[in-house]
Structure 1
């Protein structure tokens, strides 16, 4: 649970300061007034600022339909496959999973470099396959990599993408990094982002690595590891 306590001349001022510290909007937090402001004697002696506690609301998680994950293509336990066969197995597994989700899609394989491939999934209703903030796509990518490498003679790395989600997410994270770096400089206070997977943390680190006034590091334990942006 992410929360801050802030003070201000008025309750509204304190709330605004809390929102800036958290980097959220008013509808994303619950506000509890800890201290009402007081002007004191003659408006001077004994005056007291307002103090509020702002708690970020937990996002509502929509109930996800349950799917039965198909079995990976059967390969004898001691058989070693070349990269082409391993990729074919992974593609077939992916198609079977997509079909089990009630979706119709094609998988286009793009060779990036030695051992690295992109599986571009094309079809309708890809939002279901992507999931909230790419969680379904990431989980499916993990499974596809397991299938591809189970009997492969060389290590393969497969990235799943749909509707250019990876590029769009990267742009979103870079805009977030830029905005929060400016906030750190303005308020001179470090900011912790929400937990995110390693490849998304890497986007933040890479984007800000050349910044002369702020730095980044990862803190916490998986799966709640997050990026901390701090003033150098």
Structure 2
């Protein structure tokens, strides 16, 4: 079960009021964004209230909380593009898959997907500030990712052939982490005798392909 920002105990006389406290504490938009478990049932006590016990729960933001926060975050950024964008988010196994749909979203994608990559990177930072557990964020517009993956594999294939024919290292252009991951995976699977490493600092980090497994020419 998804847990964000840690568990916090809340107490009160009834469940509704206690959940309202949790909602306010986590700045949730509705009670449905809060998951909880009861760790102490309330009791009336004995004569004059002696021994009376409050209701105590452990509560934490859940999947709905995360999704709604990310939607709000993205809407604020996308409003600057002056385009109507529908945001759909799926969550599974610590991965958020964000789909943006709409007309004329070329500005959102940007040249060679730079805007899309930056938006994904910012969203990942935003999400991971909510929890100590690392989350992965995958952001896509239509079939852009699929088409970009094909283009990157073609780039990787041509670079690999060049490294083999010249017996020299081949440096690719700077790429986002998800793009470099595609390059590494393609080379390692299709050209096991070649060696790939990522070099440089973001946002200029790039893949270098070496013609031998030990990383030397």
The TM-score range, normalised by the shorter chain, is 0.5 to 0.7
Cα pair 1:86 1:149 within 8 Å, conserved: no
Q: 1:108 aligns with which of 88, 94, 100?
A: 88
Residue 207 of structure 2 is aligned to residue 227 of structure 1: yes
Cα pair 1:129 1:136 within 8 Å, conserved: yes
Kindly report structure 1 stretches of 4+ aligned residues shifted beyond 6 Å. Answer: none
TM-score (norm 1): 0.60
Task: Provide the secondary structure at the position in 1 that maps to 2:101.
Answer: strand
Pick which of 206-215 and 128-137 moved more: 206-215
Measure the CA separation in 1 of the matches of 2:200 and 2:141: 30
- Identify the residue that residue 200 of structure 1 maps to in structure 2: 179
Q: 1:171 aligns with which of 150, 174, 182?
A: 150
Task: Provide the secondary structure at the position in 2 that maps to 1:108.
Answer: strand
Task: Provide the secondary structure at the position in 1 that maps to 2:209.
Answer: strand
Distance 1:181 1:81, change over 3 A: same
Distance 1:155 1:194, change over 3 A: closer
- Identify the residue that residue 14 of structure 2 maps to in structure 1: none
Deviation at 1:129, TM superposition (A): 0.3
Calculate the aligned-residue CA RMSD, in Å: 2.4
Q: 2:106 aligns with which of 115, 127, 146?
A: 127
Distance 1:76 1:132, change over 3 A: farther
Deviation at 1:102, TM superposition (A): 0.6
Measure the CA separation in 2 of the matches of 1:173 and 1:156: 24
Pick which of 220-229 and 194-203 moved more: 220-229
Residue 118 of structure 2 is aligned to residue 139 of structure 1: yes
Q: 1:88 aligns with which of 38, 54, 68?
A: 68
TM-score (norm 2): 0.64
Residue 215 of structure 2 is aligned to residue 215 of structure 1: no
Structure 2: runs of 5 or more not aligned: 1-23, 29-59, 213-217
Deviation at 1:78, TM superposition (A): 8.4
Cα pair 1:90 1:145 within 8 Å, conserved: no
Deviation at 1:140, TM superposition (A): 1.6
Measure the CA separation in 1 of the matches of 2:122 and 2:102: 20
Measure the CA separation in 1 of the matches of 2:135 and 2:167: 43
Measure the CA separation in 2 of the matches of 1:230 and 1:140: 31
Deviation at 1:180, TM superposition (A): 1.2
- Identify the residue that residue 35 of structure 2 maps to in structure 1: none
- Identify the residue that residue 139 of structure 2 maps to in structure 1: 160
Aligned residues between the structures: 157
Distance 1:84 1:193, change over 3 A: same
